[in-house]
Structure 1
């Protein structure tokens, strides 16, 4: 039997309780202004087919060398709600006002 725990609070997630999965992908963006006419003329279908064939045999995640990084988290309902309210943790960062410690 597979056992899950919340990746934020550590609570055991039993089979009857809802479990939420959060997947995050980080990868380099591109500037559409950098696409040239030559890029549009090239036929990229063979390159796409090659990537798909490689992923089939090497796993679904692109290599780290390409700048891709994937994350997967299991969350309990309470932590899921907190995540939805502040997915980047901005409120937590703001709550740590380091200027309070400058007088030490």
Structure 2
């Protein structure tokens, strides 16, 4: 039997209990300055095939070297709602006031 716990609060998610899966992908952005006629004429299917092959062989680390990183989390309904309201945790960072530690 597969056992799940919330990756945020640690709550046991028993069989039949709702859980939410959050997947996050981080990778370098690419903004071409200019698309040329050569770019449009080029056949990109080989490049697509190469990306698919590298994803299937993730153990090789090629995607890690290029800056791609994937994450997967199981969340309980309560933590899922919190995540949806503030996915980057910006509210938590704002509430952490470093001036409280200036007297140390």
Class of the TM-score when normalised by the shorter of the 2 chains = 0.7 to 0.9
Alignment of 1:75-86 (within 5 A): 75-86=75-86
Alignment of 1:9-88 (within 5 A): 9-33=9-33, 35-37=34-36, 38-56=38-56, 58-59=57-58, 63-88=63-88
RMSD: 2.1
| 1:28-76 superposed Cα distances (whole Å, 9 cap, x missing partner) | 001132x4413333211122123324434x1599620111000000000
Distance 1:97 1:90, change over 3 A: same
Q: Could you tell me the TM-score, scaled by structure 2's length?
A: 0.85
Structure 2 stretches lacking a partner, 5+ long: none
- Paired residues of 2:22 and 2:74 also in contact (CA < 8 A): yes
Structure 1 stretches lacking a partner, 5+ long: none
Q: Could you tell me the TM-score, scaled by structure 1's length?
A: 0.85
- Paired residues of 2:54 and 2:63 also in contact (CA < 8 A): no
- The count of corresponding residues between Structure 1 and Structure 2 is 102
